[in-house]
Structure formats: structure tokens, C-alpha cells
Structure 1
């Protein structure tokens, strides 16, 4: 028996069962997924963020330095923010924030954005 199976055997409906449960499937043709896709297509740079997240601030600061306009969606200020993150997880392979999109393509998070800026590749993506 695997370690997680042993833990699951002894976990009732408590803390651990939450982490061991499988996520609900995401309807990628549903209204939330459609809205996320429309938001990504709506601007050259789109950042899915949380207001308190330092990595989100890092990504925003990069575009501020570059004087590039961007759209920010603060997921912690939306009632459907968790659903947005589920959709972004399917689209990008990560549920974490920020999720930064340039011209419709996910470039990663805050550290990725800063690294692309520092090596000059981010400007090339925007040209």
C-alpha cells in the first residue's frame, strides 16, 4: 500500500482528505472558461493576480518599468476566483498566481516575467 493510500485510509473528512481528493473536472467550454479565454484575448498583456501576492507585484512592476499597459484580474476580489484558477490550471499546468499572458501565450509567473525582462526576451515578445 502506498504512503498516500495509508494516509487516506486513516483520514476521514478532515484536513488530509481535502489534499488527497481529486479535483472536480473543469468545463473548458463553460461560462467561466469562456470568460477567462476572452479576458486573455482582450489585451496584449493580461495578469491573473491576487492583491496580496508579492510575486504578482513583481510581474506588475516589470510591465510598469517597461511602460507597457496591462490588464489585471485580481482573483481574490472575485467570487469565482477559485474557478478561474481551476481553468488556468488546465490551460497552463499551474494554479498558482500570477499567471501572466503576453499576446495570448502564458509566459509563467512573476519570477519568469522578471527573468524574461532581464534577458531582453520580454521586449521581443511585445514587439
Structure 2
């Protein structure tokens, strides 16, 4: 297994909410804004600001079939991207509470 895949999996496993993001991405900002509004504790890694960001993004494609950002996990479950998260707005508080992120 590649170092990037190990790192990505570790981030997913060790954080109640993990957001693989890019600092300039408006969809990523919308995701983090929604989580902030709900008071969620989450871990965000800006793939454009880390040396192995391209490799981590490729590893996420291997792990869950999604190469775009944001790439969101709650309680180790792949949620998808920003539109997927926004579609779950009603159930999000419960998901976050169950994950221990609220």
C-alpha cells in the first residue's frame, strides 16, 4: 500500500469528520462553512498545501472512487462531495452527534 494511501486511511480512521479539501475550492469552502455553522469538530487537510496532496487525492480515488474535492468522511463512512453533504442537511446534526463531532 502506498504511503499516501496509508496516510489518507489514517486520517479517515482517526477523525470523526475528515474533509479532504483544496484551499481555493468554493465547494470545499461551502462544506467547511456548513460544518462550522453546525459547530462540528472536523479535520480538514488542504491537498494543495501539502507535498503529497496529489498522491493523497489519487489514493482517495482508489479507496472510494471519488477523485474530486471536497471528499468527506463522517465516522469512517464516505459521504461524498459538497452536494452530497448539503443534501444531508436535515440528518447532518444526528450524523455528527453519533460520530462524536458535536
Q: How is 1:13-28 mapped onto 2 (pairs within 5 angstroms)?
A: none
Q: C-alpha separation between the residues in 1 aligned to 2:56 and 2:66?
A: 12
Residue 116 of structure 1 corresponds to 88
SS at match of 2:79: strand
- Indicate the RMSD between aligned Cα atoms, in angstroms: 1.0
What is the total number of aligned residue pairs between the two structures?
97
Residue 17 of structure 1 corresponds to none
**Which one of the candidate residues 39, 44, 64 is aligned to 1:67?**
39
Q: Is 1:104 aligned to residue 76 of structure 2?
A: yes
Deviations 1:12-48 (A, max 9, x none): xxxxxxxxxxxxxxxxx22111111111111100100
Normalised by the length of structure 2, the TM-score is: 0.89
Maintained 8 Å contact 1:58/1:111:
no
Structure ranking higher in helix proportion: 1
Larger radius of gyration: 1
Q: C-alpha separation between the residues in 1 aligned to 2:84 and 2:30?
A: 10
Q: Is 1:79 aligned to residue 51 of structure 2?
A: yes
Q: C-alpha separation between the residues in 2 aligned to 1:121 and 1:92?
A: 22
Residue 67 of structure 2 corresponds to 95
Question: CA offset at residue 115 of structure 1?
Answer: 1.4
Gaps of 5+ in 1: 1-28
Normalised by the length of structure 1, the TM-score is: 0.73
Q: C-alpha separation between the residues in 1 aligned to 2:92 and 2:65?
A: 21
4+ runs deviating over 2 angstroms: none
SS at match of 2:67: coil
Gaps of 5+ in 2: none
